[in-house]
Amino acid sequence: MGGEVIPAMRQTKTRKPDDDSRLLDALRAALSEEELWRVTTGALQCLDDAGRRRLLDRLGPRTGSALASALECGAAGVAERKPRPGHGKLEEQWAALRARWEDIVDESAREEGEYVRQDEHWEPPYLDMDTLGEDLDKVAEGMRAILDAVWEEGIDPDFDFASLLRSAAEDLGAGLPEWANPPEGLSFGPAVTTCLLRWERLRATREKLDVFAFLGRIRELESSLDEASLHDDSVVAYVAALPPEEQREVLAGFARNAGPMWSEALSDAHGAWFRARQELARKWDPSLFSRESRAKIAQDWHLALPLVEERLRARDPADALAIVDEALRALLGLEGKQAWDPREGVLLRHRAYGFRSDDRVPHLVELWRKAADAAGREETVRALELQAMALRARRDWDAMLEQLRGPCRPFPKLLSDWRAFVAEQSVGTTWSRDALAQGWVDALVDAQVAGSPGPSFCRAIRDWLAEACRSSARLGSLRESLGVLTLDVDGEGRLAKRAPRLHRLLRRSGETADLDRARHRWIGSLGGFDLFPEVIAVWSGHAEALVPDPAKAGNSNYDDCSRWIAAVNELDPAAGRRVLSRWAQVHPRRRNLWKALQEEGLAAPA
């Protein structure tokens, strides 16, 4: 607070008479900054109305108006509110924000600067464009708060945001070595984009440009940015918030201007300009909205949703199903004559679904069900009900299991596929199905669906353990699956007490908590907790196969090896000694290995 007083006084020194300058120098020499603040506020409070008027007249209209606003807001008994910044204060704030922007750009070009990151010592450095964009957006947030006032006061009349953004896009990271080039360019954030749109619209209005010509300028800037981009959602929101007459003018402008600049922008269903036009077409030209949506379903399947809803309202289930088919092909990346039948598998498990899933997929499935119902396709309707249940209950396996135990009999492939989904989600082998890794989960699901007795399930798990232990190399690849089983059969929390390090290594993230609880509950109901000693015996008896091989450690990083051997050693010291003795013979020169082991409190046997 005190740091702002002295600079402000220095700024006015050259504009003051000599006696004011002498007084100012004397005050600085005699008083601390805190005392100067007290003198200033005390002097203002001691002035009567006539004295204040004389002071305001002497200060001039700009400073006087700002001071009057401050005095009014700071008067006793007045409801708390902030005074409007005066011309000088706006100049100071704007200059500081402009300087901060330039500092960020300059900092990005420093090889040792704060925006050059290196995640691990063995990885190459890179320019952190995400943090750069966030910091520039913070500056723009400050600009946005005073932008209209800066324009009205004429503080920076020759400034334009378009040039600022072009310069930033060109200068960010300028001169850094080739290794610093980021994989993606800079994405300007919502505050930067909003400031650009507001300032450039003010300039366009002053130059008497219509709204579509103004948007053309923004599009030209966007085209020139090369590796940088604007914030699409902010552009769409700006266009959608225009006054109605301007919205219609923009929509007409899109129709008139079919040149390369606009045709390219409007051809991208995910781009800001296509989305902005669709927002306007939805309000002012529904037929255009429908045509463009249907034409672009292959690019963005979400465009099908309002079209299917409209066809259902029009009682045209055949066309609704045709649109659903187009959407499904886009969602799942189907080509040629490929098709996906909801009776043949679980949508959740489709390879393409994992890349495209979002919370609107259940809505598509529900619209599909309604269209199939209206078309009289009963079997498809039942299969889609199960698909909807799977989507809703992807974390509630008990609910899905209840549905699959009886009504699913006509769809054995759907049951089989859901069983595979449960296994993949449990042991992390999605899309690269490992039959043995998932075998024990398959046995668990089969037992629950069939209502099998506990002893038969326990026999299946013992058979799985025996098969897994048949090959040391194979067992090592099953460590994650064995780890999940270990936690699942630990009915009384014994592992955390007996081997806390191993328990920490096996413990899973909170994202899988619901799934883990379901399996744990199923295993408990089948008597699987009795298997805990046998599973622990596998860790002890096959420690060398289950601990990562130092020879396969990348970049001489042995942290994983040291953590696992420390965990096994805690569980079974004899097993730990066997592994360390083996490593001492095979890896005596791996200094980083023995350093990592030492940090875990382990050393080579004497």
- Angle between helix 87-108 and helix 61-74 axes, rounded to 10 deg: 100
Is the confidence at residue 181, as pLDDT, over 70?
Answer: no
Q: Return the SS3 of 89.
A: helix
Residue 132 domain-assigned (yes or no): no
Question: Looking at residue 141, what is its pLDDT?
Answer: 97
Same domain, 423 and 461: yes
Give the burial string for 158-192 (b: 16+ CB within 10 Å, else e).
Answer: eebbbebbbebbeebbeebeeebeeeebbbbbbbb
Is the confidence at residue 384, as pLDDT, over 70?
Answer: yes
Same domain, 452 and 434: yes
Question: Looking at residue 6, what is its pLDDT?
Answer: 32
Residues 6+ apart with CB under 8 A from 212: 249, 250, 252, 253, 257
Residue 201 domain-assigned (yes or no): no
Same domain, 533 and 419: yes
Range of the domain at 515: 415-546
Q: Which of 67, 14, 77, 13 minimizes the C-alpha distance to 40?
A: 67
The pair phi, psi for residue 79, each rounded to 5°, is: -55, 140
Residue 368 domain-assigned (yes or no): yes
Same domain, 473 and 511: yes
Helices (H), 259-407: 260-266, 272-284, 286-295, 304-313, 317-332, 353-356, 361-374, 378-392, 397-405
H/E element, 117: strand 116-117
CB atoms within 10 A of CB 439: 20
Range with the largest mean pLDDT of 59-68, 154-163, 431-440, 503-512: 154-163
User: Tokens 């100071």 — which residue?
Assistant: 92
Q: How far apart are CA 308 and CA 314, in angstroms?
A: 10
The pair of structure tokens assigned to 208 is: 């008497």
Q: How far apart are CA 588 and CA 364, in angstroms?
A: 60
Is the confidence at residue 173, as pLDDT, over 90?
Answer: no
Residues 6+ apart with CB under 8 A from 334: 328, 340
Residues 6+ apart with CB under 8 A from 420: 349, 433, 438, 442
- The model's pTM is 0.74
Lowest mean pLDDT among 84-88, 169-173, 292-296: 84-88
What's the number of domains the chain is made of?
4
Average pLDDT over residues 250-278: 93
- Give 514-572 pLDDT, tens digit per residue: 888 889 999 999 999 999 999 999 998 898 888 988 988 877 889 989 999 999 888 88
Average pLDDT over residues 457-461: 93
Residue 568 domain-assigned (yes or no): yes
Same domain, 473 and 540: yes
Residue 455 domain-assigned (yes or no): yes
The pair phi, psi for residue 98, each rounded to 5°, is: -60, -40
- Give 307-353 pLDDT, tens digit per residue: 999 999 999 999 999 999 999 999 999 988 888 999 998 898 887 87
Residue 424 domain-assigned (yes or no): yes
Residue 173 domain-assigned (yes or no): no
